[in-house]
Amino acid sequence: MRAIKFLLQKEFRQIFRNRSILAMILVMPVMQLIILPLAANYEVKNINLSVVDHDHSSYSQKMITKIISSGYFRLTGYNRSYGEAFHLIESDEADVILEIPDGFERNLIREDEQKLLVAVNAINGVKANLGGAYLASIIRDYNQEIRIDFLQNNRFNVIPTIDVTSSNWFNPNLNYQVYMVPGILAVLVTMIGGFLTALNIVKEKEAGTIEQINVTPIRKHHFILGKLIPFWVLGNIVFTIGLLVAWLIYGIIPVGSLALLYGFVSIYLLAVLGLGLLVSTFCETQQQAMFIMFFFMMIFILLGGLFTAIDSMPEWAQVVTRFNPVSYLITVMRMVILKGSTFQDVAPHLGIIALFAIGLNGWAIVNYKKAS
Amino acid sequence: MKEAVIKTENLTKRFGDFIATNALTLEVYTGEIFGFLGANGAGKTTAMRMLCGLSIPSSGNATIAGYDVYRETERIKKNIGYMSQKFSLYEDLTVLENIRFFGGIYGLSDDEIARKSDALITQLGLQNEAKKLVSGLPLGWKQKLSFSVAVLHQPKIVFLDEPTGGVDPVTRRQFWNLIYDAAEKGVTVFVTTHYMDEAEYCNRVSIMVDGKIEALDTPHNLKKKFNAFSMDEVFYQLARGAQRAE
């Protein structure tokens, strides 16, 4: 056990002497937590709308005004023909075309029915989907308004409508930052822990210093512990910095228990560090380690439920996410920070992460060879 | 009676079809300075790595300090020191921190570490550099430091892989004085070199060509046998037929 003391001493000295690593540990999480949640926003605004109004009636005018005043759309074209408007889509100046046919007002009043054409530029999938949906809902709303107008004139029968009001639990204002910050923090902790560990050991391979270690009678698990502990401590520091940023800048205070959060992150870090260790045992150069870690990180982040909900992924992708430790941390962070979940709620996640930690570290110890 | 501290018998290492070290058979005795010569690519480093327990032999037998190279590598490691061809102390630690670290890894007590670091620093004349980062030291000093760290735990055998490569003649002389000091204290020295004047300093030398040992004797006997004036000539006669080169 005495060997571990010397290993730790050496590792911490090296970390504190390496300015770029220190900067990475302290500045990177703060910067990313400040920038990313502000930018990573699901709300779609500034949808460029081009209107082709063949009717030029007061009803069509009212509808267009209502659409523009919603704040989501920006009128970029007011064209005479669909063909003209389509040019705008081709040149990417418009995202959505709304075509109002001739006789819009007349048909609405006389025949109680009128069709509209909405054409969407689906190159940007999210914008197209949400833009189309917003437009449809505004038009539906407009439709209801004019019906109420008509009702007052007693020209139509009362049509019962179902009006749905929803309230957003745990994030009442649907503030995306509240949703994103815990997720981004989860990714940051993962990246820093995983990358630092993998690169650190491979760096020793490149420098040849690992050979000088391998020729000593040091025990394998002592060596691995000597590598794990420093980065485990650093991971916890990054996590703490992240929580402070979340509180100071976004006013997010965990609803659940801090002890539970730290407990989970502690076990989680062991799993991620284990992955880094394992990768390092397979790589000879830092370049190789970097690429392999990137490969995993891309999958972990994109299939982690940070940007896209896991529930809406195809079946096979949902199976993949079960083998993704990041998805568990993101879920648990959101559960504990936003919802105040307790130990019982996150126990299954904790169990799985513990299995990850044991499996990955065990494999790393077996795969770390002192002789070739 | 001379006691063999390194004993190998047909020790062989293959990498696929390539036989790096072919049927190495030799004995090295306690307290001896053994010169392990050979051209680049002859298989010296591979052989040495097997003897240190860093590389598992493909076939053959060997015992180091009485321990088997297959089964007792960790015991071997307690009894040997190793200095690789490439400088492999930590550049971002100071001289003292490196000594302390390796002393600790080899299980020395804090007391021993403190005493030995002092003695080492004085012996190497590094008083002014003790608290400086190793990366700033000139190569010659780095090599002397590596050697001292390799013998810090008083091993029975120390393996030196081209310890004086790229070092100036004065420093080389000082380095060999360190080797003699260690040998006098009973440490067996197993050293590879490309400098034939250094070969003359050894008690016995072996010359390896294309993975095989072609000659093994004292420098004096070798010169007689090959009818040569210097080890340089002996080496040249043997190694010019080599097929392998790096």
Task: Tell me the chain A residues in contact with residue B86 when contact means C-beta distances shorter than 8 Å.
Answer: 208
Using CB atoms, pick whichever of A9, A13, A207 lies closest to residue B88: A207
pLDDT digits (tens, 9 = 90+) for B4-16: 899 999 999 999 8
Q: Which residue in A9, A21, A200, A209 has the most chain B C-beta atoms within 10 A of its own C-beta, making it the best mutation to test that interface?
A: A209
DSSP string, A170-193: SSTT--HHHHHHHHHHHHHHHHHH
Is residue B208 within 8 A of residue B20, CB to CB? The reply is no
Domain ranges within chain A, ordered by starting residue: 7-40+172-367, 47-152
Q: What is the CATH number of domain B4-239?
A: 3.40.50.300
**Contact across the interface for A216 and B87, Cβ inside 8 Å:** no
Tell me the one-letter amino acid at A7.
L
Task: Tell me the chain B residues in contact with residue A3 when contact means C-beta distances shorter than 8 Å.
Answer: 104-105, 107
Q: What is the mean pLDDT of each run of 10 residues along chain A (372 residues)?
A: 90 90 84 83 78 87 87 85 86 86 83 80 78 85 78 57 68 73 90 90 92 90 92 93 91 91 95 94 93 92 83 86 91 89 92 95 89 76
Domain ranges within chain B, ordered by starting residue: 4-239
- Please give the pLDDT value at position A149: 72
Lowest mean pLDDT among A132-146, A332-346, B21-35, B224-238: A132-146
Q: Which residue in B21, B58, B101 has the most chain A C-beta atoms within 10 A of its own C-beta, making it the best mutation to test that interface?
A: B101
Q: Which residue in B51, B95, B105 has the most chain A C-beta atoms within 10 A of its own C-beta, making it the best mutation to test that interface?
A: B105
- Closest-CA residue of chain B to A212: B88
- Please give the pLDDT value at position B196: 87
Give the rounded distance of the alpha carbon of A207 from its chain centre.
37
CB-based burial of residue B227 (10 Å sphere; 0-12 exposed, 13-18 middle, 19+ buried)?
exposed
* Residues whose CB falls within 8 Å of the CB of residue A56, separated by 6 or more in sequence, listed in order: none
With an 8 Å Cβ cutoff, the interface of chain A facing chain B consists of 2-3, 5-7, 9-10, 13-14, 17-18, 207-209, 211-218, 370-372
- Please give the pLDDT value at position A21: 80
Which of B241 and A95 is assigned the larger pLDDT? A95
Using CB atoms, pick whichever of A3, A13, A18 lies closest to residue B105: A3
- Closest-CA residue of chain B to A8: B101
- B175: β partners: none
- Please give the pLDDT value at position A85: 86
**Contact across the interface for B53 and A370, Cβ inside 8 Å:** yes
Using CB atoms, pick whichever of A6, A207, A372 lies closest to residue B101: A6
DSSP string, A125-165: HHHHHHHHHHHHHHHHHHHHHHHHHHHHTT-S---------
CA–CA separation, A339 vs B37, rounded Å? 71
DSSP H or E stretch at residue A213: helix A209-214
CA–CA separation, B117 vs A354, rounded Å? 43
The tokens of B231 are what? Answer: 């080890």
Average model confidence (pLDDT) across chain B:
90
Share of chain B above pLDDT 90, in %: 55
CA distances for B139 relative to A34, B99, B166, B171, B197, angstroms: 46, 17, 8, 10, 20
Using CB atoms, pick whichever of A3, A10, A215 lies closest to residue B90: A10
Task: Tell me the chain A residues in contact with residue B90 when contact means C-beta distances shorter than 8 Å.
Answer: 10, 14, 209
**Contact across the interface for A214 and B54, Cβ inside 8 Å:** yes
Q: State whether residue A198 is helix, strand or coil.
A: helix
* Unique residue bearing structure tokens 């071997």: B76
The tokens of B29 are what? Answer: 């005795």
Task: Tell me the chain A residues in contact with residue B97 when contact means C-beta distances shorter than 8 Å.
Answer: 10, 13
Which of A164 and B96 is assigned the larger pLDDT? B96
Q: What is the CATH number of domain A47-152?
A: 3.40.1710.10
pLDDT digits (tens, 9 = 90+) for A103-121: 888 887 777 777 888 888 8
Task: Tell me the chain A residues in contact with residue B53 when contact means C-beta distances shorter than 8 Å.
Answer: 215, 370-371
Task: Tell me the chain A residues in contact with residue B161 when contact means C-beta distances shorter than 8 Å.
Answer: none
**Contact across the interface for A2 and B104, Cβ inside 8 Å:** yes
- Please give the pLDDT value at position A73: 87
**Contact across the interface for A371 and B97, Cβ inside 8 Å:** no
For residue A58, count other CB atoms closer than 10 A to its CB: 9
**Contact across the interface for A372 and B106, Cβ inside 8 Å:** no
Return the axis-axis angle of helices B95-105 and B110-124, rounded to nearest 10°: 140
Using CB atoms, pick whichever of B52, B80, B97 lies closest to residue A13: B97
What are the E-state strand segments in A152-302? none
pLDDT digits (tens, 9 = 90+) for B48-59: 999 998 899 999
CA–CA separation, B204 vs B218, rounded Å? 4
Give me the sheet containing B80-83, strands edge to edge.
B80-83, B157-161, B188-192, B33-38, B204-209, B212-217
Which contacts of A291-295 are long-range, i.e. CB under 8 A and separated by 24 or more positions?
A292/A198, A293/A194, A293/A195, A293/A198
DSSP string, chain B: -PPEEEEEEEEEEEETTEEEEEEEEEEEETT-EEEEEE-TTSSHHHHHHHHTTSS--SEEEEEETTEETTT-HHHHHHHEEEE-SS--S-TTSBHHHHHHHHHHHTT--HHHHHHHHHHHHHHHT-TTTTTSBGGGS-HHHHHHHHHHHHTTT--SEEEEESTTTT--HHHHHHHHHHHHHHHHTT-EEEEE-S-HHHHHHSSEEEEEETTEEEEEE-HHHHHHHTT-SSHHHHHHHHHTT-----
CA distances for A205 relative to A201, B52, B72, angstroms: 6, 17, 24
**Contact across the interface for A371 and B53, Cβ inside 8 Å:** yes
Residue B246 has pLDDT above 60, yes or no: no
Is residue A109 within 8 A of residue A58, CB to CB? The reply is no
CA–CA separation, A363 vs A6, rounded Å? 24
Give the angle subtended at the CA of A225 by the CAs of A223 and A230, to the nearest 5°: 110
CA–CA separation, B205 vs B215, rounded Å? 8
